[in-house]
Amino acid sequence: MKYFIYTLILFIGVLQINMSPQTMSNDNPFFKEYTTPFQTPPFDQIKIEHYLPAFEEGIKIKRTELDTVINNPEAPTFENTITAIEKSGKLLTKVSRVFFNISGSNGNDETQKIAETITPELSKLNNDIYLNEKLFQRIKSINDEKEKLNLTSEQLKVLDNYYTDFVRNGIGLDEEKKTRLKQINEELSMLSLKFGDNLRKETNAIGLVIDNKDDLIGLPDATIQGASELAKQNGMEGKWAFNLQRPSFTPFLQYSEKRNLREKLYKAYLTRGNNNNGFDNKEIIKKIIALRNEKVNLLGYKTYADFKLEKNMAKNPETVNKFLADLWSPALEQSKEEVIEMQKLIDAEGSNFKLAGWDWWYYAEKVKKEKYALDEEMLRPFFKMENVRQGAFDVASKLFGIQFVKRDDISVYQPDVDVYEVKEADGTHIGILYTDYYPRNGKRAGAWMSNFRGQSNIDGEFITPLVVNVGNFSKPTEGKPALLSFDEVNTLFHEFGHGLNGLFGKSDYPGAKRSPVDFVELPSQIMENWASHPEVLKMYAKHYQTGEPIPDELIQKIINSQYFNKGFETVEYLAASILDMNWHMLNDVSNIDVTKFEEMSLNKIGLIPEVASRYQSTNFNHIFGGDGYSAGYYGYMWSGVLDSDAFGAFLENGLFDKTTAESFRRNILEKSGSDDPMNLYVKFRGREPKPDALIQRLGFNN
């Protein structure tokens, strides 16, 4: 998983809640102004017992502030209504940003209990504000007069966001339907929370234990060492354990010569959330889909996809489905060619079996080695994590003239988290970047960017951002640093791109920062183009022992293999995107069988058995662990069109051309969310994107 937005956007209203009274204790750091550098969260002072009192007090203050807006006797203006709402809830936002980030990256049973306590309360509050008729009438009156108010383009965007949010959240419904909508929203919030917690536990579970050293045949030394350390951490010293995090199971599937063990680990990964145990997600999915359908039917939409896509660049399901279908046929044909290549190797070995899903990584590595004289382990020594991270920093410095300064005086929530101050070339402070790259039991799978504080500039008070990049990359092992796979390198650059988007923000209002999912991946995916460019590889890819830069012949092998396995990669992604759309175009989910529906969806498009969808329904956290990417997982590929075309501007003008970089920063990174995304893109590129840029990068027309 490349990216998952993990920022809670809170717009919370008036509600009495059944929690015991709490006082603003002097030892609760949330109740005080942080005295830390740049007012960063004092993680060394924050304790588990501080969260609930801070949430309760934050809700109370938010309620009071919004009551003032709602009952203001003055005629509604942008300042006394929209700006006042934007200024409200500082304490609630403060504690929410910390808590929900920590629960995702360093969670435990205690944080889960807090989440289970506070999530329904936040959902109730959210319902209450969006269904407040008096507040809506104030917003509506401003919206009705907006042409006369001389508002900036950003103010118009914020106003439109608030107005349409009320409409899309049911303000026009009768009281009976509003009551039902509240119930649906509260149920959905808890179901998504449970889905994500189940998946976290299943992903961090041990999928395979080996106690016979002979069963390690073919595995790299670093993989064996990591498995030994994981076993030791789980009380199985002298054995080797593999969990279902990618840094653990992927190298096993790539290199293990034990086909039966590859099959066992592969199936354990695919069936996360589908094991008929206490962490099974099938019934949760059925309830989520049924409730989402009921919700949008109340709001007058035919399907949930129609509802969600209305606010995206694609606008409707028909556009998305055509986009995916146009890519599906060439990708599927390419994957079939890849199957033929690997089957030839199997046959040449004298093996009597057909290629299966658990064989793909293993034989793909063999094809790469035979065809391009390249395999993953040849590259890893050149991708020490610290060097890769510095490479991303150096690219940003050359493009935008910024600098990254390590700060050891800023508190962190885990020892392996690093902190950097980001500055302009002249030393002006931009923001803080936290990097958190290694798996742990309390961390959910995947990689994402979030923030502990967002950028804003209301009334000229410029608030600088506190951004965090989170990943689950290959860890250091005893006597050896963290050596990343090339895929992990791309993921690090990807999330760093999101980080730059957060750091460079120049919006006045937090409510302006809403990029649709089919645009939000542009700032991240474009960075991957620099990660693999030969000139940039020379900058950061250095052997971890000798410090020698990656040799030209190895770079050439990477270039020669740039289209390798693209069929597989594209098909598994498209299959997941189509599965997402199929779930959210359903009209009736009564008596549906989750597993059979998934099989039917994938069989209908002709998915070959050798390739699995990137996510199965029961572990598709993007669409069921939250609502951000539901009917929106296609957005990565849609943004692929944008980033392929946008990077073309740098290839045309110069890899580090200052004018092009300044335009990208000013129009995309600083302003994304504050204007129509196509308007922003055209301001940068001078035209709309050309769709064939993505096809060329995938190599399907070569």
Query: What is the C-alpha to C-alpha distance for residues 579 and 563, in angstroms, rounded to an integer?
Result: 25
Q: Which two tokens stand for residue 255?
A: 């290199």
Could you read off the pLDDT of 557-599 as tens digits, one per residue? 999 999 999 999 999 999 999 999 999 999 888 889 999 999 9
Provide the pLDDT for residue 443. 95
Is residue 495 annotated as a catalytic residue, yes or no? Answer: yes
Query: What is the C-alpha to C-alpha distance for residues 456 and 86, in angstroms, rounded to an integer?
Result: 10
Confidence of residue 702 (pLDDT cuts 50, 70, 90): low
Provide the pLDDT for residue 590. 85
Confidence of residue 7 (pLDDT cuts 50, 70, 90): very low
Query: What is the C-alpha to C-alpha distance for residues 93 and 452, in angstroms, rounded to an integer?
Result: 9
Please determine, for residue 104, whether its predicted confidence score (pLDDT) is greater than 70. Answer: yes
Please determine, for residue 4, whether its predicted confidence score (pLDDT) is greater than 60. Answer: no
Set 121, 377, 495, 610: catalytic member: 495
Please determine, for residue 153, whether its predicted confidence score (pLDDT) is greater than 70. Answer: yes
Please determine, for residue 612, whether its predicted confidence score (pLDDT) is greater than 80. Answer: yes
Could you read off the pLDDT of 388-420 as tens digits, one per residue? 999 999 999 999 999 999 999 999 999 999 999
Please determine, for residue 439, whether its predicted confidence score (pLDDT) is greater than 60. Answer: yes
Provide the pLDDT for residue 591. 87
Please compute the mean of the pLDDT values over residues 101-116 and round it to a whole number. 96
Residue pair 205/308 in contact (Cβ under 8 Å)? The answer is no
Q: HSE (CB half, 13 Å, CA atoms) of 277?
A: 10
Lowest mean pLDDT among 195-209, 504-518, 568-582: 504-518
Query: What residues does each domain of the chain span?
Result: 204-270, 381-560+635-698
Provide the pLDDT for residue 512. 84
Please determine, for residue 492, whether its predicted confidence score (pLDDT) is greater than 60. Answer: yes
Residue pair 103/111 in contact (Cβ under 8 Å)? The answer is yes
Provide the pLDDT for residue 514. 86
Q: Which two tokens stand for residue 348?
A: 């040449």
Supply the pTM of this predicted model: 0.94
Residue pair 392/593 in contact (Cβ under 8 Å)? The answer is no
Residue pair 532/696 in contact (Cβ under 8 Å)? The answer is no
Question: Where would I find the beta strands (DSSP E) of 131-283?
Answer: 206-210, 240-243
Please determine, for residue 12, whether its predicted confidence score (pLDDT) is greater than 60. Answer: no
> Which DSSP helix (H) or strand (E) runs through 422?
strand 418-423
Could you read off the pLDDT of 215-243 as tens digits, one per residue? 999 999 999 999 999 999 999 999 999 99
**Domain 381-560+635-698 classification at class level:** mainly alpha
Provide the pLDDT for residue 370. 95
Query: What is the C-alpha to C-alpha distance for residues 549 and 555, in angstroms, rounded to an integer?
Result: 10
Residue pair 146/500 in contact (Cβ under 8 Å)? The answer is no
Provide the pLDDT for residue 110. 97
Please determine, for residue 434, whether its predicted confidence score (pLDDT) is greater than 80. Answer: yes
Please determine, for residue 20, whether its predicted confidence score (pLDDT) is greater than 70. Answer: no
Question: What one-character DSSP code corresponds to residue 474?
Answer: P
Please compute the mean of the pLDDT values over residues 523-538 and round it to a whole number. 98
Please compute the mean of the pLDDT values over residues 284-294 and round it to a whole number. 97
Provide the pLDDT for residue 10. 37
Provide the pLDDT for residue 219. 97
